[in-house]
Structure 1
């Protein structure tokens, strides 16, 4: 390979990882902001619209406080605020890592995130979590 081809290949490789790196930068910025600006103090962030309108918790209620707890290296508190959000972190890191490696290797992007059966199962899990955390016996799931 000539130097021009190697240089072009390096530029193409760098360009292909810009999207995953941008997502990582945005996630890091959100993590840093929520880590610094405490969501436990009123007035910093808006109230969950679903909670405000119904008085019930949505599947995402407690996620910002979970991120804040993780930013302060307190996984036990994070688990108590939103266990589903905490359980999603390894999956999100896996999918992001797979995306980054495939982009680096120059493999084409997949148009599907996962097999549809997994996505339907995840949707069912979120719906069950949503209902159970609002029932008396599921109060331990409330933030």
Structure 2
């Protein structure tokens, strides 16, 4: 019996079944990038303005993320890094994690990302430092 565990009589997912969720996530992300690539965020009226930027004049860690994604889709890595360097790092990190997920799923293993408290605090500190530095006068090179 293919796909059935003889000992417990439960079905085990096939390779196609194991890859369905990563494929769905990739389709959603690709669709989002395709939309942002087609609808230019540099032209006013297409996307809402960041509420933090509108109310305080301060850039949040996500400010410039759509412009960064637009430039990234069009292959302009320099502009993408200028608009939001942290977002570009996140795009690349997603690609690595997704690839590892697919390989592990194809082999029948689950994806376990054990970040732990130290790594989570470090990631939070990185986002906080990025946010503070981009709002300092000397951090103008990080403004979107």
TM alignment of 1:100-111, pairs within 5 A:
100-110=102-112
Which string of whole-angstrom CA distances, capped at 9 and with x for unpartnered residues, describes residues 74-108 of structure 1? Answer: 11111111111112222111111111111111113
Asked if 1 retains the 8 angstrom alpha-carbon contact of 2:83 and 2:143, the reply is yes
TM-score (norm: length of structure 1): 0.88
Instruction: Pick the structure with more helix per residue.
Output: 1
**TM-score after normalising by structure 2:** 0.87
Gaps of 5+ in 2: 6-10
Aligned to 1:71: 73
In the aligned structure 1, how far is the partner of 2:110 from the partner of 2:61?
33
Which consecutive unaligned segments of at least 5 residues does structure 1 have? none
Which one of the candidate residues 99, 122, 133 is aligned to 2:101? Answer: 99
Distance 2:99 2:20 in 1: 13
Of structures 1 and 2, the one with the larger relative CO (CA 8 A, separation 6+) is 1
Cα RMSD (Å) of the superposition? 2.1
Number of residue pairs aligned between Structure 1 and Structure 2: 139
CA contact (8 A) 2:22 2:102 kept: yes
